[in-house]
């Protein structure tokens, strides 16, 4: 019965054989990196997960029959896509312990002087088999398929192997694709390889670990290890064309295969989409995964991998990362006390194209603010400032943030309809942009925004506390003074490259000359 064959351990392996036979006939097409990344597809990822997390593999416990079948599946895939053997004795296998097997395949670099350098990308393919008191939240004794943990990471690596095989020109450094065994028994596979490496560890310049990347949710992708090299955060964010929400986590824990690499002082990141109710339970099954999310994560990792393997300089390990935890992150990311309100009103957002009939209507006056002290009230309309008729809110705020202390507003009272002049003593000091920042010692040139003044140019451009500035007018600002000078002296269009949650964008701020004379129109409503 075909069903029986399918259910046997050999089923998935036979399926793979037949797909090799089919693909031999198709002419291989060589691709650019962008095209190659496009071949990493939801359905293919799912197909790998369906094989690896099938009951026939019995939960892929290290050293078990199902574990060996999974290893075979991976080795055949490495062979199909032309990886060089990088295990023992000219094979893809590194055998150790009680019948445990790491899988190791190498894509040689294309640059004569850089090809000795190696980027490691790894994921554990083992899981906990039938589960036990020590490795399962139960119920024990039934198959734990480990679809997310870690058929997800394994399938992403299999798809990357295929994608990199299609490149017209491979990256300059070599890439070692590793599928670790025995992770669930205490990171055995990665530890073993690091103690008995099949190539010189000195040449390993970076490592990526994927563990449980199949459950992308609103919280986004967790990335650990961004502080293991200076400049790594910017690098990881700039590669994020999928616009994943990235949560950078500063903790470094011995909870997966990235840890032994970090202990060896190799810059390392680990990607993870978070724990869930099915974690280490029999219910971690194929239907619980988000395959569209898995595709995004796999493409993102593949692009990152490409960039790491192809960039001019290698990252250098930053030992201080070992001392920095989430506590340190929260301390660094605290906001500054807010700026004093200059005026302290919220304007009706609908009202911008004004004339003498239609002033800028105040929607709200903040208690204790300069506006409140001066007697302004909700409903009042501001017609002019220091004799300058106001056409737009932008014009008002630019003037408010540009003058020293006192302004005279012409205000029309809501109920009486009469206009009068009101003197206001503004709070705080003039602000050209309206933000404060703190430099990150871990990433030279990275300024973390600690506060933004309400209605300032920075605020109106969408900058918020918690954003990070990478560049100003395409230049890296290395010191406080550099940044201060650039923000104070720039004229015309200021371009800030800003990152928030791993997404980089350019924010433009128009720096008109201080409005001494009347401005008829502001360019940015
Ligand atoms: Zn696990």
Number of other residues whose CB lies within 10 A of the CB of residue 119: 26
Over residues 409-466, the pLDDT tens digits come to 999 988 888 999 999 999 999 999 999 999 999 999 999 999 999 999 999 999 999 9
Instruction: Provide mean pLDDT across the span 305-324.
Output: 97
Instruction: Provide mean pLDDT across the span 101-106.
Output: 98
186 with 91, same domain: the answer is: yes
Q: What is the CATH number of the domain that holds 505?
A: 2.30.42.10
Q: How many angstroms does the Cα of residue 225 sit away from the middle of ligand 1?
A: 19
Q: How many angstroms does the Cα of residue 207 sit away from the middle of ligand 1?
A: 19
State the DSSP string of 178-244: EEES-GGGTSHHHHHHHHS-SS-GGGEEEEEEE-S-S---TT-EEEE-GGGBTTHHHHHHHT-TT--
Taking 3-state DSSP, the helix, strand and coil percentages for the chain, each rounded to the nearest 5, stand at: 30, 25, 45
Whether residue 514 has pLDDT greater than 80: no
Place of tokens 């340190």: 328
Whether residue 42 has pLDDT greater than 80: yes
Domain C-terminal end among 365, 398, 425: 425
Whether residue 114 has pLDDT greater than 50: yes
Over residues 192-217, the pLDDT tens digits come to 999 999 999 999 999 999 999 999 99
Give residue 218's pLDDT. Answer: 93
The percentage of the chain sitting over the pLDDT mark of 70, rounded to a whole number, equals 90
Residue 144 domain-assigned (yes or no): yes
Q: How many angstroms does the Cα of residue 106 sit away from the middle of ligand 1?
A: 25
Q: How many angstroms does the Cα of residue 255 sit away from the middle of ligand 1?
A: 9
* Alpha helices, H only, 359-467: 370-373, 393-402, 457-460
Place of tokens 């973390």: 448
Q: How many angstroms does the Cα of residue 63 sit away from the middle of ligand 1?
A: 16
Residue 227 domain-assigned (yes or no): no
Give residue 516's pLDDT. Answer: 41
Q: How many angstroms does the Cα of residue 240 sit away from the middle of ligand 1?
A: 26
State the DSSP string of 287-354: GG--HHHHHHHHHHHHHHHHHHHHSSS---B-GGGGG--HHHHHHHTPPPPPPPPSS-EEE-TT--S-
Q: How many angstroms does the Cα of residue 36 sit away from the middle of ligand 1?
A: 30
292 with 149, same domain: the answer is: yes
Q: How many angstroms does the Cα of residue 273 sit away from the middle of ligand 1?
A: 13
Domain C-terminal end among 425, 453, 482: 425
Whether residue 1 has pLDDT greater than 50: no
What is the end-to-end Cα distance of the chain in Å, rounded? 71
Residue 247 domain-assigned (yes or no): no
Residues 6 or more apart whose CB falls under 8 angstroms from that of 40 comprise: 156, 159, 160, 162, 163, 295, 298, 299, 302
Residue 260 domain-assigned (yes or no): no
Q: How many angstroms does the Cα of residue 187 sit away from the middle of ligand 1?
A: 10
Domain C-terminal end among 425, 453, 476: 425
Question: Where does residue 220 fall: left (phi above 0), alpha (psi -120 to 50 degrees), or beta otherwise?
Answer: left
Give residue 5's pLDDT. Answer: 35
Residue 334 domain-assigned (yes or no): no
pTM of the model: 0.89
Q: How many angstroms does the Cα of residue 142 sit away from the middle of ligand 1?
A: 16
206 with 101, same domain: the answer is: yes
In terms of residue numbers, what domain contains 146?
Answer: 2-216+277-311
300 with 364, same domain: the answer is: no
> Across the chain, what does the average pLDDT equal?
91
376 with 459, same domain: the answer is: no
373 with 457, same domain: the answer is: no
Give residue 513's pLDDT. Answer: 59
Label the pairing between strands 84-85 and 93-96: unpaired
Residue 270 domain-assigned (yes or no): no
Whether residue 512 has pLDDT greater than 80: no
362 with 461, same domain: the answer is: no
Instruction: Provide mean pLDDT across the span 15-21.
Output: 47
Give residue 28's pLDDT. Answer: 58
Q: How far apart (Å, rounded) are the C-alpha atoms in residues 171 and 308?
A: 9
Instruction: Provide mean pLDDT across the span 118-137.
Output: 97
Q: What are phi and psi of 303, to 5 degrees?
A: -65, -40
Greater confidence, 29 or 279?
Answer: 279
Q: What are phi and psi of 458, to 5 degrees?
A: -60, -45
Give residue 348's pLDDT. Answer: 86
Residues comprising the chain, all counted: 525
**Residue 490, CB half-sphere, CA atoms under 13 Å: how many?**
21
Q: How confident is the model at residue 4 (pLDDT cuts 50, 70, 90)?
A: very low
146 with 47, same domain: the answer is: yes
Q: How many angstroms does the Cα of residue 253 sit away from the middle of ligand 1?
A: 14
DSSP 265: T
Q: How many angstroms does the Cα of residue 277 sit away from the middle of ligand 1?
A: 13
454 with 396, same domain: the answer is: no
Number of domains into which the chain is organized? 3
Give residue 522's pLDDT. Answer: 27
Ranking 24-33, 230-239, 350-359, 409-418 by mean pLDDT, the lowest is 350-359
Q: How many angstroms does the Cα of residue 4 sit away from the middle of ligand 1?
A: 29
Q: How many angstroms does the Cα of residue 468 sit away from the middle of ligand 1?
A: 33
Q: How many angstroms does the Cα of residue 252 sit away from the middle of ligand 1?
A: 17
Q: What is the CATH number of the domain that holds 207?
A: 3.40.630.10
Q: How many angstroms does the Cα of residue 155 sit away from the middle of ligand 1?
A: 15
80 with 174, same domain: the answer is: yes
Greater confidence, 159 or 416?
Answer: 159
Instruction: Provide mean pLDDT across the span 182-188.
Output: 98
Give residue 349's pLDDT. Answer: 78
Q: How many angstroms does the Cα of residue 127 sit away from the middle of ligand 1?
A: 6
Q: How many angstroms does the Cα of residue 48 sit away from the middle of ligand 1?
A: 18
Instruction: Provide mean pLDDT across the span 319-335.
Output: 97
**Residue 424, CB half-sphere, CA atoms under 13 Å: how many?**
31
19 with 46, same domain: the answer is: yes
Q: How many angstroms does the Cα of residue 419 sit away from the middle of ligand 1?
A: 71
Whether residue 407 has pLDDT greater than 60: yes
Residue 138 domain-assigned (yes or no): yes
Number of other residues whose CB lies within 10 A of the CB of residue 34: 10
Q: How many angstroms does the Cα of residue 212 sit away from the middle of ligand 1?
A: 8
Task: Count each helix (H run) and each strand (E run) in the chain, helices first.
Answer: 15, 20
Q: How many angstroms does the Cα of residue 256 sit away from the middle of ligand 1?
A: 8
Place of tokens 């992150």: 329
Helix (H/G/I), strand (E/B), else coil: 505:
strand
Q: How many angstroms does the Cα of residue 325 sit away from the middle of ligand 1?
A: 22
Q: Give, for 442, the enclosing helix (H) or strand (E).
A: none
Nearest in space to 168 (alpha carbons), one of 33, 24, 311: 33
Over residues 343-371, the pLDDT tens digits come to 999 998 776 555 446 789 999 999 999 99
Number of other residues whose CB lies within 10 A of the CB of residue 475: 12
Q: Give, for 68, the enclosing helix (H) or strand (E).
A: helix 65-80
Ranking 161-175, 245-259, 390-404 by mean pLDDT, the lowest is 390-404
Whether residue 126 has pLDDT greater than 90: yes
Instruction: Provide mean pLDDT across the span 379-402.
Output: 93
403 with 469, same domain: the answer is: no
Helix (H/G/I), strand (E/B), else coil: 460:
helix
Residue 268 domain-assigned (yes or no): no
- DSSP β-bridge partners for residue 451: 436
Q: How many angstroms does the Cα of residue 150 sit away from the middle of ligand 1?
A: 7
Q: How many angstroms does the Cα of residue 67 sit away from the middle of ligand 1?
A: 14
Q: How many angstroms does the Cα of residue 348 sit away from the middle of ligand 1?
A: 54
Give residue 23's pLDDT. Answer: 44
Instruction: Provide mean pLDDT across the span 486-504.
Output: 94
Give residue 30's pLDDT. Answer: 80
């Amino acid at each position: 019965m075909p069903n029986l064959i399918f259910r046997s351990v050999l089923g998935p392996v036979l399926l793979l054989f037949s797909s090799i036979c089919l693909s031999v006939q198709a002419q291989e097409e060589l691709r650019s990196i962008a095209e190659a990344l496009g071949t990493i597809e939801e359905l293919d990822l799912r197909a790998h997960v369906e094989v690896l997390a099938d009951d026939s593999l019995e939960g892929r416990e290290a050293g078990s029959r199902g574990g060996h079948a999974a290893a075979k599946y991976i080795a055949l895939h490495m062979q199909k896509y032309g990886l060089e053997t990088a295990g023992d004795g000219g094979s893809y296998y590194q055998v150790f312990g009680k019948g445990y097997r790491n899988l190791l395949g190498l894509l040689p670099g294309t640059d004569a002087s850089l090809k000795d350098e190696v980027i490691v990308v790894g994921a554990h393919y083992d899981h906990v088999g039938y589960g036990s008191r020590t490795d399962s939240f139960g119920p024990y004794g039934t198959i734990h398929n480990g679809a997310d943990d870690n058929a997800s990471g394994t399938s992403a690596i299999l798809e990357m192997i295929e994608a990199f095989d299609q490149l017209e020109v491979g990256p300059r450094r070599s890439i070692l694709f590793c599928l670790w065994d025995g992770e669930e028994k205490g990171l055995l596979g990665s530890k073993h390889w690091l103690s008995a490496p099949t190539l010189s560890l000195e040449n390993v310049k970076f490592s990526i670990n994927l563990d449980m990347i199949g459950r992308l949710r609103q919280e986004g992708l967790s990335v650990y290890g961004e502080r293991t090299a200076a400049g790594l955060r910017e690098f990881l964010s700039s590669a994020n064309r999928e616009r994943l929400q990235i949560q950078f986590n500063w903790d470094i824990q011995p909870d997966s295969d990235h840890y032994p690499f970090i202990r060896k002082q190799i810059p390392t990141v680990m990607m993870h989409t978070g724990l869930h109710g099915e974690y280490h339970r029999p219910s971690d099954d194929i239907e619980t995964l988000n395959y569209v999310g898995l595709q995004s994560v796999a493409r993102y990792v593949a692009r990152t991998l490409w960039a790491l393997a192809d960039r001019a300089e290698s990252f250098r390990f930053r030992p201080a990362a070992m001392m920095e935890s989430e506590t340190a992150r929260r301390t660094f990311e605290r906001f500054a006390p807010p700026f004093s309100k200059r005026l302290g009103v919220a304007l009706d957002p609908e009202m911008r194209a004004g004339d003498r009939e239609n002033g800028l209507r105040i929607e709200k006056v903040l208690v204790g603010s300069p506006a409140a002290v001066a007697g302004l009230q909700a409903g009042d309309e501001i017609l002019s400032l220091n004799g300058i008729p106001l056409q737009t809110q932008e014009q008002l705020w630019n003037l408010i943030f540009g003058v020293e202390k006192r302004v005279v507003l012409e205000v029309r009272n809501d109920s009486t309809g009469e206009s009068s002049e009101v003197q206001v003593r503004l709070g705080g000091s003039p602000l050209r942009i309206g933000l404060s920042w703190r430099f990150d010692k871990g990433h030279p040139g990275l300024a973390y925004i600690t506060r933004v003044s309400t209605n300032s140019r920075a605020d109106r451009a969408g900058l918020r506390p918690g954003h990070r500035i990478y560049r100003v007018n395409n230049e890296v600002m290395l010191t406080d003074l550099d940044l201060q000078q650039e923000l104070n002296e720039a004229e015309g269009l200021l371009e800030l490259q800003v990152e928030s949650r791993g997404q980089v964008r350019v924010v433009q701020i128009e720096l008109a000359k201080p409005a001494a004379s009347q401005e008829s129109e502001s360019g940015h409503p």
